[in-house]
Amino acid sequence: RPTRFTYKFVLLGESAVGKSSIVTRFARNEFNQYNESTIGAAFVTKDVALDEMSTATLRIWDTAGQERYKSLAPMYYRNAEGAVVVYDITQSETFAKAKAWVSELRRQNESRTVIALVGNKVDLADKRTVTKEEGAAYAAEAGALFFETSAQNGQSVQTLFEELARKAPRP
């Protein structure tokens, strides 16, 4: 019979990599070119189908990437079943920051947390500075799922949340 799970998901990553844009694309299928930087954190819920019989309700915390909010992050990633760690494929320093987030999650022993490493803004391919191979290699090394997305055109956004939900620990 039909089963419903509830999961806590968190988005982490440098400011302006597109965390809020990814969530808005996923939850409302919209994109805003002039999206405002998040203050503190934002919260969204959205259902995804896991298979014919089961659904997951995702409770998603979209954190603020600006440095001044960094100390709040543990509150949002604590006990999360899924973490989406985002970088911008056109900004190499955001990839370094994403690696630091993955290390922090592993160091805090959030061992239940399934991590998805996400290179966003693939629609800006001509400005790319982080190769797909670099992203995939680091994800493999860290035991994370890997996706390249575009919040602008929607590429792989739905898939990212569906696959992360399917890999998340069942209660």
Report the C-alpha gap between 79 and 159 in whole angstroms. 23
Binding residues for ligand GTP, rule CB under 6 A, total: 24
DSSP-based three-state secondary structure for 32: coil
- 79: partner contacted, choices Mg ion, ligand GTP, none (Cβ within 5-8 A by kind): none
Judged by the rule CB under 5 A, the positions of this chain that interact with Mg ion are 19-20, 38
For residues 115-146, one letter each, b for 16 or more C-beta atoms within 10 angstroms of the residue's C-beta and e for the rest, the string is bbbbbbbbeeeeebebeeeebbebbeebebbb
Q: 114-120 and 82-88: which strand pairing?
A: parallel
Binding to ligand GTP by residue 56, rule CB under 6 A?
Answer: no
For residues 84 and 77, the answer to whether their CB atoms sit within 8 Å is no
For residues 17 and 120, the answer to whether their CB atoms sit within 8 Å is yes
In the complex with ligand GTP, the residue whose CB is nearer, 13 or 135, is: 13
- 123: partner contacted, choices Mg ion, ligand GTP, none (Cβ within 5-8 A by kind): ligand GTP
Binding to ligand GTP by residue 33, rule CB under 6 A?
Answer: yes
Which x/- pattern over 99-118 shows residues binding ligand GTP (rule: CB under 6 A)? --------------------
Smallest gap, in angstroms, from Cβ of residue 24 to ligand GTP? 7
Binding to ligand GTP by residue 121, rule CB under 6 A?
Answer: yes
Report the C-alpha gap between 12 and 124 in whole angstroms. 21
Site stretch for ligand GTP (CB under 6 A), options 13-21, 70-78, 108-116, 137-145? 13-21
Binding site for ligand GTP (CB under 6 A): 13, 15-21, 32-35, 37-38, 64-66, 120-121, 123-124, 150-152
